[in-house]
Amino acid sequence: MYNILICDDEKDIVSALSIYLSTENYKIFTANTGREALQVVENNDIHLILMDIMMPQMDGISATAKLRESSNIPIILLTAKSEDSDKILGLNIGADDYITKPFNPIEVMARVRSQLRRYTSLGGMAKKASHLVIGGIDLDDEAKTVTIDGEPVSLTPSEYNILKLLMENPGRVFSSTQIYEQIWNEDAYGSGSVVAVHIRHLREKIEINPSEPRYLKVVWGLGYKMEKEAKE
């Protein structure tokens, strides 16, 4: 059984989401502020968080940033249509996805299942090598760890999956659409900015100088690729 935390200051939304997700036999935890969410995560084994952006005491952006200091739990932001800039900010600081209010219950369930699937299995249909090494990047898919020049790096599930996809296919160029469809398992309409944010955040973690990357390269007008051998 998976434990899901729903954090929103609107009790009707918390109640509705709890009902939807309970039909899948998830164990539900609730919070109404970012501070309460941090306390729930500290005291329980949470596998996924649905986090509202606009909340009192501590908003969803601040709570997500705090959680990312020590946890890679999948975080899906709940946003209003007017909060486009907050969506990008949330992805920048480590959120994995977002759902715009008013939401469709079917969409919520699909996105939750997708994030949980990646978080727990992080694998494709075909059996892939569990240990990938390119230059100083070492990805151990069994332990779900990444080190850069021997130093551990903390990645979100989406960042991890993008890195794994590119490392499994060194030298191959993937468009934003291809990356989005393989990582998020859904149609890639409007996905370019989402992928770009994750790529930028990933570069900041794996590159010594993100503006002059050794590993994760942009092929202008086409997409992204992982160099087969990092250039010094």
- CATH number of the domain bearing residue 91: 3.40.50.2300
HSE-up (13 A, CA, CB side) for residue 56: 3
Please give the tally of structural domains in the chain. 2
Give the CATH number of the domain where residue 153 resides.
Answer: 1.10.10.10
Same domain for 106 and 20:
yes
- Domain end, chosen from 100, 120, 140, is at 120
- Domain end, chosen from 56, 91, 120, is at 120
Same domain for 142 and 113:
no
CA distance 109 to 21: 7
Beta carbons of 113 and 76 less than 8 angstroms apart:
no
- Domain end, chosen from 98, 120, 142, is at 120
Same domain for 186 and 110:
no
Same domain for 116 and 159:
no
Write out residues in the chain with pLDDT < 50, as ranges: 123-127, 232
210-225 b/e with 16+ CB inside 10 Å = b?
Answer: eeebbbbbeeeeebbb
pLDDT per residue as tens digits for the range 40-80: 998 888 999 999 999 988 999 999 999 988 788 899 999 88
Tell me if 231 is assigned to some domain.
Answer: no
Reading the block at residue 1, the tokens are: 């059984």
pLDDT per residue as tens digits for the range 8-27: 999 999 999 999 999 888 99
CA distance 51 to 76: 6
Same domain for 91 and 144:
no
Tell me if 69 is assigned to some domain.
Answer: yes
At residue 88, the pLDDT reads 85
Same domain for 138 and 113:
no
Segments forming the whole domain that contains residue 209 = 131-226
At residue 187, the pLDDT reads 66
At residue 141, the pLDDT reads 87
Same domain for 145 and 82:
no
Tell me if 35 is assigned to some domain.
Answer: yes
Beta carbons of 121 and 185 less than 8 angstroms apart:
no
